[in-house]
């Protein structure tokens, strides 16, 4: 679930607290091109106010009209399709012959929206199972690898919360910006820093902090193809330990702050003392981030996340687009 959909859930929770009714629509299937992916949500209040989007606007307009006409006074979840024929496809902004399928769910106390939001605020990833007969909802921890929406005659299962994970080594000033921005990009964020002088002052909502040693943390973190590890301490005793384990993992992104000279020394240490291969060392991004002229901590954090985004979507960049390492937040070592 991305942050657009999280905003929809927050909006319907606010409507509920104000005593207003609402219908939540979840995309369960699409045929042809679609503006939003399966699992995206839209909500319509009982007076036609809308939150979120699942099309270019035409389906939303139709939902609003149906609510105002009383056609969506549902007693339970109902599956609805739009754009089955070419004429409807054109009307609803879908490609010719395209189809969009929504599960329309009237929200009640049994929908557990507040409970879901509370767990999402803790940075958890949550499985939500909707009983299509009763409308009751069960929240649970998702099974490993079970991130896709599934629907059958009995239930709709959706997954909410961050689909990506980021482990940051070091709790310095730049970490605050990197962690905060990453939350907005659908990352579950864990910060590791055993140094009391840094960790004691860090408090970010939705971010976990551990004081364990970095190599142990990376091992427990078990990076997979949806994971990134970024080392920001400038301390080889901490950064190298984390990178040693991270570069052996399937993490899609492993980066470390520092100049090119510093990176060269780091790779030599990792090869000499920890036995990392040339192939593993080639996966290390350093100087970390894109070359966007960044100088300040928030700018460098932005450049790191931009590079992570490119790697996440398989966009390979040339060396001229990467940071030169001449300066790293005022540090040239």
Task: Write the pLDDT tens digit of every residue in 118-130.
Answer: 998 877 889 999 9
Domain that holds residue 174: 164-321
Q: Are residues 193 and 135 both part of a single domain?
A: no
Same domain, 150 and 173: no
Residue holding tokens 């907005």?
A: 184
**258 CB-near residues (< 8 Å, 6+ apart):** 234, 266, 286, 287, 288, 325, 328, 331, 333
Domain count, the chain: 2
Query: Residue 327: inside a domain, yes or no?
Result: no
Residue 193, Cβ neighbours under 10 Å: how many? 26
**From CA 31, how far away is CA 38, in angstroms rounded?**
11
What CATH number is associated with residue 295?
A: 3.40.50.720
Are 141 and 243 within one domain? no
Cα–Cα distance for residue pair 256/247, rounded to 1 Å: 11
Q: What pLDDT score does 329 carry? A: 44
Q: Please report, for residues 25, 60, 88, 150, 256, the alpha-carbon distance to residue 154 in angstroms, rounded to integers and kept in the order given.
A: 17, 26, 28, 11, 48
Q: What is the mean pLDDT of the chain?
A: 85
Residue 57, pLDDT score: 65
Provide the pLDDT for residue 198: 79
Statement to judge: residues 172 and 154 lie in one domain: no
Cα separation, 254 vs 285, in Å, equals: 6
Task: Give residues with Cβ within 8 angstroms of 227, minimum separation 6.
Answer: 164, 165, 166, 167, 221, 249, 250, 251, 252
* SS3 at position 113: helix
Considering 132, 160, 188, which residue would you say is the last residue of a domain? 160
pLDDT at 248: 93
Pair 169, 195 in one domain: yes
- Asked if the structure places residue 331 within a domain, the reply is no
Does 84 or 247 have the greater pLDDT score? 247
Q: Tell me: do 140 and 222 sit in the same domain.
A: no
At 331 the pLDDT is 46
């Amino acid at each position: 679930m991305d942050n657009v959909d999280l905003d929809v859930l927050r909006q319907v929770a606010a409507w509920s607290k104000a005593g207003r009714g609402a219908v939540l629509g979840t995309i369960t299937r699409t045929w042809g091109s679609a503006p939003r992916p399966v699992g995206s949500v839209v909500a319509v209040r009982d007076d036609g106010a809308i939150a979120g989007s699942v099309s270019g606007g035409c389906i939303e307009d139709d939902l609003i009209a149906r609510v105002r006409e009383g056609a969506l006074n549902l007693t339970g979840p109902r599956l609805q399709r739009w754009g089955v024929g070419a004429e409807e496809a054109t009307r609803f902004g879908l490609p010719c012959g395209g189809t969009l399928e929504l599960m329309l769910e009237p929200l009640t106390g049994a929908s557990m929206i507040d409970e879901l939001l509370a767990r999402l605020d803790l940075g958890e990833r949550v499985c939500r199972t909707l009983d299509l007969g009763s409308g009751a909802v069960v929240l649970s921890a998702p099974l490993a690898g079970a991130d896709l929406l599934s629907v059958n005659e009995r239930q709709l299962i959706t997954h909410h919360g961050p689909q990506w994970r980021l482990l940051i080594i070091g709790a310095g000033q730049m970490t605050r910006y990197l962690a905060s921005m990453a939350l907005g990009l659908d990352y579950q964020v864990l910060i590791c820093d055993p140094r009391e002088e840094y960790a004691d002052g860090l408090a970010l909502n939705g971010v976990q902090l551990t004081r364990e040693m970095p190599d142990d943390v990376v091992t427990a973190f078990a990076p997979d193809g949806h994971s990134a590890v970024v080392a920001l301490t400038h301390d080889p005793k901490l950064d190298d330990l984390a990178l040693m384990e991270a570069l052996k993992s399937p993490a899609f992104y492993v980066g470390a702050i520092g100049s090119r000279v510093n990176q060269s020394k780091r790779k030599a240490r990792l090869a000499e003392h920890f036995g990392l291969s040339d192939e593993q060392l080639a996966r290390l991004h350093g100087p970390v981030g894109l070359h966007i002229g960044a100088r300040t901590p928030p700018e460098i954090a932005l450049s790191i996340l931009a590079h992570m985004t490119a790697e996440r979507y398989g966009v390979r960049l040339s060396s001229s687009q990467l940071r030169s390492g001449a300066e790293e937040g005022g540090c040239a070592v």
